Amino acid sequence: MFDTVRLIIDKVKAEGDKAVLEYEATFDKVNLSVLSVSEEEILAGESQISEQLKTAIILAKKNIELFHAAQQFVGKKIETMPGVTCWQKAVGIEKVGLYIPGGTAPLFSTVLMLAVPAKIAGCKEIVLCTPPAKDGSIHPAILFAARLAGVNKIFKAGGVQAIAAMAYGTESIPKVYKIFGPGNQYVTAAKQLVSLRDVAIDMPAGPSEVEVLADASANPVFVAADLLSQAEHGSDSQAVLVTTSEKLMEAVQIEVERQLMELPRKDIASQALENSKLILVKDMEEALDLTNEYAPEHLIIETENYQEVAERIINAGSVFLGSLSPESAGDYASGTNHTLPTNGYAKAYSGVSLDSFIRKITFQEITSEGMKTIGPAIEEMAANEQLDGHKNAVTVRLQMINKQ
C-alpha cells in the first residue's frame, strides 16, 4: 500500500493540479476542470440545507468554540534567577490544511472540530480539501460549516492526492505547514509519509473505535446503540464491550441484532461487527487493566460508580460518563473534539485541541546582574562539553560587564 501511496504523492508533487485532476477522475469518478470551490457554489450550498440543520450546526459550533477557547495559553514571565527572565508565547500555525472525508458519509461535523480551534488559535490560512460527489458538487452542509467556522479556501480533492497537494502545494492548492483530519488507510499512510520530512500532521489515526465498559447496572439497549453507532462509521471500525456481567452481555448481543436490522447502514455495521468483540471479565480490576491496555479512541463508562472507574482511566482518547452520555454527543455537539488517536496511540497522543494549532516560542532576557550570576555555570558546563565557542560567548560578555 505504501508503494502505491508514494507513487501518487510523487506524481502530485511533480505535476500539481494536472495530477490531482487525473486522480479525481480515477478514484472519485469525477471530471473536474477546476479544483477550487467558488463563492457561488458556497452560497448555493448554504441555501440547500434546512434551517433545522443550520441551527444544529450553529449550536455545535458555539459549544466547540466555548470549550476550545477555554484552553487558551496564558504565558507567565518567570525569573529563574535574579536578572534571568524566561517566558513563552503561543502563536497560531500560519497555514493549516484540513482533510474532510466524503466517502460513505459527509463529515461536516469534522469541519467544525478542526476549523473552529484553528480560527481561535489565530491560523491565518485555513485550507480545506474534501472529495466531491460524481457530479462535482460538495455536500452543502460541509460548505455551510466551513463558511461558518472561518475556512479561507475549499478544494475538491480527496484521498492521497489531497494530502499530497496540501503537503507540497499545487497551482491551486496552497502548501500548508500542518495537516489535520481523519481518513481511510490510504489517507493515513499518505499523512505518515509526508510527515517524515515535509509537513507536520495532527496524529496517526486509523479506523475509528469505541469501547463500552459496563456492569450489571447498564442498560443493554443503550449499550447496543453505542456499539452500533460506532460500527456504522465504516466496515473497518471496531466496537468492543468489556463487562463484568454475563447477563448484560447476552442481553446486549440480542439487542445489537435487533437494532442492526433497523439501521440504513446495516451492511457497513455488519462488517464492522466482525472486527468487534464482547468480552466478559471477572471483575472491574481486570476490566480496567484491559481498557488501559487497549487505550480506546472513545470510551463509554456505563457502570454504577462511573466516576470512581473514570478516575482510574489513564489511556483513552475521549471518555463518556454514565448512561446518558453517548459517544454521539462528543462526535457532534457537546464541545469536546472528536479528532482522536486510534489503534492504541492514546497511550502517547492526545486528541486534537487548541494546542494542536499553536506553537509555543520561548523568550529570555538576561541583564548584567543575571549574566554575573549564571555566566560562570554556563562557562563551566560548556568547557566540560569541550564547546569553547559556547564558553567564549559568555566570557566576552562577563569581561565587558566587569570592566564597567
Annotated active-site positions, please? 297-298
384 appears as a binding residue in the annotation: no
3-state helix/strand/coil string of 129-191: EECCCCCCCCCHHHHHHHHHHCCCEEEECCHHHHHHHHHHCCCCCCCCCEEECCCCHHHHHHH
CB-neighbour burial class of residue 53 (10 A; exposed 0-12, middle 13-18, buried 19+): middle
Spatial distance between the Cα atoms of 160 and 2, rounded to a whole number of angstroms: 11
Least Cα distance to 28 among 126, 154, 129, 169 occurs for: 129
CB-neighbour burial class of residue 77 (10 A; exposed 0-12, middle 13-18, buried 19+): exposed
28 appears as a binding residue in the annotation: no
SS3 content of the chain, % helix, strand, coil (to 5): 50, 15, 35
233 appears as a binding residue in the annotation: yes
36 appears as a binding residue in the annotation: no
Strand order in the sheet with 318-321: 277-280, 238-243, 209-214, 298-302, 318-321
How far lies 250's CA from each of 216, 287, 316, in Å? Answer: 11, 17, 26
Spatial distance between the Cα atoms of 117 and 109, rounded to a whole number of angstroms: 13
Spatial distance between the Cα atoms of 184 and 400, rounded to a whole number of angstroms: 61
Which helix (H) or strand (E) element contains residue 368?
helix 368-384
Spatial distance between the Cα atoms of 173 and 16, rounded to a whole number of angstroms: 9
168 appears as a binding residue in the annotation: no
Label residue 170 left, alpha or beta by phi (over 0 means left) and psi (-120 to 50 means alpha): beta
Helix ranges restricted to H, 169-317 = 185-194, 220-231, 246-260, 266-274, 284-294, 306-311
399 appears as a binding residue in the annotation: no
385 appears as a binding residue in the annotation: yes
Phi, psi of 178, rounded to the nearest 5 degrees: -150, 140
402 appears as a binding residue in the annotation: no
Least Cα distance to 141 among 15, 7, 47, 273 occurs for: 47
125 appears as a binding residue in the annotation: no
Annotated binding-site residues for NAD(+) read: 99, 161, 184
Annotated binding site for substrate: 208, 230, 233, 298, 331, 385, 390
**Binding site: what residues are annotated?**
99, 161, 184, 208, 230, 233, 298, 331, 385, 390
